């Protein structure tokens, strides 16, 4: 059996969960290595050697050390192309271009406002930080405009890049999960017919349910 790959970071991190979703879709065995961010472990010299920006996740297998969740996903999809879900990515140039276009749309248009909302509404209260109502309002407005585009697109196409669930859809799972399950902004997704249908389908996948499970507080391990 292949040595499990290593993923560093807490599963509740949106970027970490993006990588976990990808590994589970591809049936790649992994070891999740905790990084105690409350103790600043991610800013210590040992961690900065593998991730110089002091962020999670980082990733190691027997031949390479990587960071940035979308780069890690692309590597996993290429290396394990022949196992697990083979339709998550494509080597066909036109299909690949469409997938990459929507991965970029996620990174450039969807992620900034949605992750700002996730931080303000899901994490700031837990961390006892004051919420910024201006940021919340601005982010909601931006995200609404993005979701209007998605509503139109998902009326033309079952998934963002075409007929198959791909990395482009997977990339959206982490932030949307928080917004739908622990904030009052879930309606932004569920009130839109096509976006709602799409969210239901992609979040219902077994791999994503496993990630959500991993995000729950784990019972303490017995000695």
Partner 1 sequence: MAVLKLHGTPFSTAAMRALAALYEKELDFELVPVDMKAGQHKSEAFLALNPFGQVPAMEDGDLKLFESRAITGYIAHEYASKGTQLVSPDPKKMAILSVWMEVEAHQFDPHAGKLCFEHVFKKMFGMTTDPAVVEELEGKLGKVMDVYEARLTVSKYMSGDCFGLADLHHLPALHYLQGTSSKKLFDSRPHVCAWVADITARPAWGKVIALHKS
Residues that bind partner 1 (CB under 8 A): 52-53, 63-64, 66-68, 70-71, 74-75, 78-79, 93-94, 96-98, 100-101, 103-105, 107-109, 112, 146, 149, 152-153
**DSSP labels, 90-109:** -SSHHHHHHHHHHHHHIIII
CA 86 to chain CA mean position, Å? 19
Q: ω before 142 within 30° of 0 (cis)?
A: no
Give the shortest CB-143-to-partner 1 separation in angstroms. 13
Give the shortest CB-137-to-partner 1 separation in angstroms. 19
Nearer to partner 1, 63 or 218 (CB): 63
Determine how many CB atoms are found less than 10 A away from the CB of residue 156.
7
* Whether the Cβ atoms of residue 209 and residue 21 lie closer than 8 Å to each other: no
30: nearest Cα among 40, 38, 20, 39: 20
Give the shortest CB-43-to-partner 1 separation in angstroms. 12
Nearer to partner 1, 88 or 105 (CB): 105
Give the shortest CB-182-to-partner 1 separation in angstroms. 24
As separate numbers, helices (DSSP H) first and strands (DSSP E) second, the chain gives 12, 4
Nearer to partner 1, 79 or 210 (CB): 79
Beta bridge partners of 32: 7
Distances (CA, A) of 108 to 112, 140, 142: 7, 15, 12
Nearer to partner 1, 96 or 158 (CB): 96
Give the shortest CB-120-to-partner 1 separation in angstroms. 17
Nearer to partner 1, 144 or 181 (CB): 144
Give the shortest CB-31-to-partner 1 separation in angstroms. 19
Nearer to partner 1, 102 or 205 (CB): 102
């Amino acid at each position: 059996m292949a040595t499990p790959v290593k993923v560093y970071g807490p599963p509740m991190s949106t970027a970490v969960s993006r990588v976990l979703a990808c590994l589970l879709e591809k049936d790649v065995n992994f070891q999740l290595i905790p990084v105690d961010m409350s103790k600043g472990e991610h800013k210590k010299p040992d961690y900065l050697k593998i991730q110089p920006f002091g962020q999670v996740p980082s990733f190691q297998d027997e031949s390479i050390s990587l960071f940035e969740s979308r780069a890690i996903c692309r590597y996993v999809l290429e290396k394990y192309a022949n196992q697990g879900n083979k339709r998550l990515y494509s080597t066909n140039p036109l299909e690949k271009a469409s997938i990459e276009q929507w991965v970029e749309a996620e990174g450039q248009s969807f992620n900034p406002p949605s992750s700002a909302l996730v931080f303000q509404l899901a994490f700031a209260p837990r961390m006892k930080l004051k919420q910024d109502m201006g940021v919340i309002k601005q982010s909601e407005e931006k995200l609404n405009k993005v979701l209007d585009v998605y509503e139109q697109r998902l009326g033309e196409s079952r998934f963002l890049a075409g007929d198959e669930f791909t990395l482009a859809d997977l990339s959206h799972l982490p932030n949307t999960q928080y917004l739908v399950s622990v904030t009052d902004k879930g309606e932004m997704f569920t009130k839109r017919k096509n976006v709602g249908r799409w969210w239901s389908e992609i979040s219902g996948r077994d791999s994503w349910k496993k990630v959500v499970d991993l995000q729950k507080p784990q019972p303490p391990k017995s000695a």
